[in-house]
Amino acid sequence: MFYFSLFLFFTSFFVSLISTPFLMKIAKKKQLFDVYQGDELKIHKASISYFGGLAMVLSTIVVLVLIGFYQKNFYWQIIGIISGALIIFLLGFWDDLKWKHISKIKPRKKFALLIICSLLSAVFLVVSGTKINFFPRIYFAIILTWAYIFVLINAVNYQDGIDGLAGGLTAISLLGFITLSVFTGNTFSLFFSLILLGSVFGFLVFNFPPAKIFMGDSGAYFLGFILAAMAAVFSKPYNLSSIFGPIFIIGLPIFDGVFTNIRRLLEKKSIFFGDRKHFYDRLYLKNFSVRKTILICYFIQVIFVVIGLLIFNL
C-alpha cells in the first residue's frame, strides 16, 4: 500500500504539473485572463490565467478513476465525489467567465446558485456514503453536508486573494488529513488526501508568488468541496471530536471565513462583495511582503492542524 500511495501522489502531481502550463498556453491563445483593470480587489498588475483550478480537477479525476479500477470497494464513493466536485467546479468556472470582475457580480443570483449547487453536491456525497454523520438520519446528513460545502467553498475562495495562499493552506490541511488517515487506518481518506495533495503541489509550482496562474473561483470552490468531503469521511454519530477535529484541521480558511461573514453582516454589506479586510490583508497592509504574509499564515495553519489532530484523538 505504501508504494501504491506514492504512485497516486506522484501521478496526480505530474498530471497537474504538466497540464498547468498547457492550460496557460490555451488561456493565452483564447485571451482568457483574470481581469484586474478597474477592480479595487485585484493586487496583481498583469493578465494571468485562471485555469489552475481546471488543472487540479483534471489530475484529481484521472487518478481517482485509477483507484476505481484498483479498489472496487471505493467505486461509489469515488462516483459521488467526482459528481459533486464537477457540479461545484463548473459553477465556479462559470463564475470565472461571467462574474470575475467586481462590477459584474450579481449577489442574489450567485447566492441562489451556490445554495442549489451545494445542495446537489451534498446529495451526491450522501447517497454515495460520504456524509457529515453527526446526526445519522439521512435528511440531517444532507443538511449538514450541504452546510459544510456551502461554508467551505466560500471560505477557501476568501483566501484566494494573494498568491499561493489558498493552495498552500489547503495543502497543509491535507497533510493533516493524511496524518489522521494513518492514525485511524482509513485507506480511502489516505488515498484521497494524497491525490489531492499531489494536484495542489503541481499547481503551487506555478502559483507560488509571483504567480503565473490563478486557481480562479472554480479552483477555490473545488478545494472547498474537497475539504468538506474530507471532513465528512471522519464524521461519526454524536461524536464532537469528529466534528471539531476536522474543523481545526481545515483551520484558517474556516475561521477567517466565519469572521468575515459576521463582520460584513454587521456592516450591512453583502457577503459576496469582497474587501481587503481579511487576516492576510491586514498583514500585507502592514508592509509585510507577499511571501512573508503567506508564510505567517502557513505557520498559523500548522498550529490549527496540530490542535485538530489532538482534538480528534482525544
Q: For 116-131, write each residue's pLDDT tens digit.
A: 999 999 999 999 999 9
Per DSSP, helices labelled H in 49-186 are 52-70, 75-99, 107-128, 138-159, 165-184
Q: Which residues contact 303 (CB under 8 A, 6 or more apart)?
A: none
Q: What band does 188 get if pLDDT is binned at 50, 70 and 90?
A: very high
* Measured distance CA(37)–CA(28) in Å, rounded: 17
Domain boundaries, the chain: 2-313
Nine-digit cell at 298?
A: 502557513
Alpha carbon distances (Å) from 194 to 99, 151, 190, 281: 32, 23, 6, 30
Listed residue (140, 151, 132) closest to 243, CA to CA: 132
**Partners of 49 in the beta sheet?**
213
Report the pLDDT averaged over residues 200-206.
97
Mean pLDDT of 286-304: 93
Q: Which one is predicted more confidently, 269 or 272? A: 269
Residue 249 binned pLDDT confidence (cut-offs 50, 70, 90):
very high
Residue 2 has pLDDT above 80, yes or no: no
Q: Which residue has the higher pLDDT, 104 or 246?
A: 246
- The vertex-240 CA angle with 238 and 246, nearest 5°, equals 120
Q: 24-80: per-residue pLDDT in tens?
A: 888 777 667 666 544 555 555 567 888 999 999 999 999 998 887 777 788 889 999
pLDDT at residue 134, as a whole number: 93
Average pLDDT over residues 100-109: 63
Instruction: Tell me the whole-structure pTM to 2 decimals.
Output: 0.92
First vs last C-alpha separation in the chain: 27
Higher pLDDT, residue 97 or 234: 234
Which range, of 53-57, 98-102, 146-150, averages the lowest pLDDT? 98-102
Joined grid coordinates for residue 153? 467553498
Q: What is the pLDDT of residue 33?
A: 65
What mean pLDDT comes out for the span 197-225?
A: 94
Position 11 pLDDT exceeds 80 = yes
Average pLDDT over residues 274-293: 82
Give the pLDDT confidence score for residue 39 in this predicted structure: 52
3-state secondary structure of 120: helix
The residue that leads in pLDDT, 63 or 266, is 63
Rounded mean pLDDT of the chain?
A: 89
Q: What cell does 280 get?
A: 492576510
Quick one: pLDDT band at residue 86, thresholds 50, 70, 90? very high
Lowest pLDDT segment from 72-81, 253-262, 282-291:
282-291
Query: How many angstroms separate the CA atoms of 198 and 51, rounded?
Result: 17
pLDDT given at position 309: 97
Bigger pLDDT: 209 or 251?
Answer: 251
DSSP code of residue 162? S
Q: Identify the pLDDT of residue 285.
A: 72
Please state, for a pLDDT cut of 90, what percent of the chain lies above it: 64
Residue 102's pLDDT is 54
Sign of the C-alpha dihedral computed for residues 155, 159, 161 and 164 taken in this order: negative
Is it the case that residue 92 has pLDDT exceeding 60? yes
